[in-house]
Amino acid sequence: MELVICHCKQCRNPIGKFINLWIQIDGKAFSPIIESEDNLKILCRGKIVDGYRGTLTENCKRQDVICASCSESVGVKFLKTPVSHVLHENQIVFRIASVTLSDDAGERVKCAIIRVLSNKEPARVSKANSTEKKGEYCIPRLRLPRFIDIPPLENEVASQRQHVNQTDSNTPRVAKALEKGADGTGDYLAKLETLETTVEKCLLEVKGIFDDLASIKIEVNDPKDVQHQQTT
């Protein structure tokens, strides 16, 4: 999925990187569906306030957020939300008029809106029910389920979950293969040590042969001197 950079429109400095999947609220604000892995360049400012009754923010607590570079207000942060609310705790909602999106090359990018919400309608809140089998990797149900209601996204999440589960099931086999490889490496090192000892012995024998050849060469070159040495 495409990564985009969110910039403060006032100072043009980057706020953070997000996956280009967003929900839009009343055409005036938008929020990333998936949290950024960056340390966002924003700060909370002002009082913590309650959401308005009869609206999307009912029973929520929020606080204004500003750009850390220029202190311009860029949106709000939801510090507390009800269970299974369409907005989760610590979710950032940016004002469309206060930020821009671009790619790594600096080109403007259009945000991919997959759901539009109205602030005039309260979110329907219900208890979360987990249906995953024990031992399977589970996508957190309080984060994304109410957003991911478009077939392509559901298929992608299911594919990622299956991939992770397959990786988990293959872990014992991978560990066994690594252990076997380690044993094979030990045997190989032992063979190398034996070979090294054999080579050293061969070198000593070759040196002895060269010494013998040197003696023979002296006898051939000066037999009288050798005979004299033997006589004395």
Tell me the CATH number at 90.
Answer: 2.170.150.20
Q: Output the six-digit token pair for 184.
A: 């094979």
CA dihedral 221, 227, 229, 230 (to 10 degrees): 130
Give the tens place of pLDDT for each residue, 118-135: 888 777 654 443 333 333
pLDDT for 148: 42
Same domain, 189 and 91: no
Choosing from 109, 125, 141, the residue where a domain stops is 125
Same domain, 103 and 196: no
Please list, in sequence order, all residues whose beta carbon lies within 8 angstroms of the beta carbon of residue 19, skipping any fewer than 6 positions away.
1, 2, 3, 4, 32, 33, 34
For the cut 70, the answer to whether the pLDDT of residue 157 exceeds it is no
Choosing from 103, 125, 147, the residue where a domain stops is 125
User: pTM (2 decimals)?
Assistant: 0.53
For the cut 90, the answer to whether the pLDDT of residue 75 exceeds it is yes
Task: Using pLDDT thresholds of 50, 70 and 90, give the confidence band for residue 30.
Answer: very high
Rounded (to 5) percent helix, strand, coil in the chain: 35, 25, 40
Confirm whether 216 is domain-assigned: yes
Confirm whether 161 is domain-assigned: no
Rg (CA), the chain: 37
Q: Domain count of the chain?
A: 2
Confirm whether 225 is domain-assigned: yes
Task: Using pLDDT thresholds of 50, 70 and 90, give the confidence band for residue 64.
Answer: very high
Range of the domain at 99: 3-125
Grouping H, G, I as helix, E, B as strand and the rest as coil, residue 192 is helix
Confirm whether 162 is domain-assigned: no
pLDDT for 180: 66
Q: Output the six-digit token pair for 87.
A: 């907005």
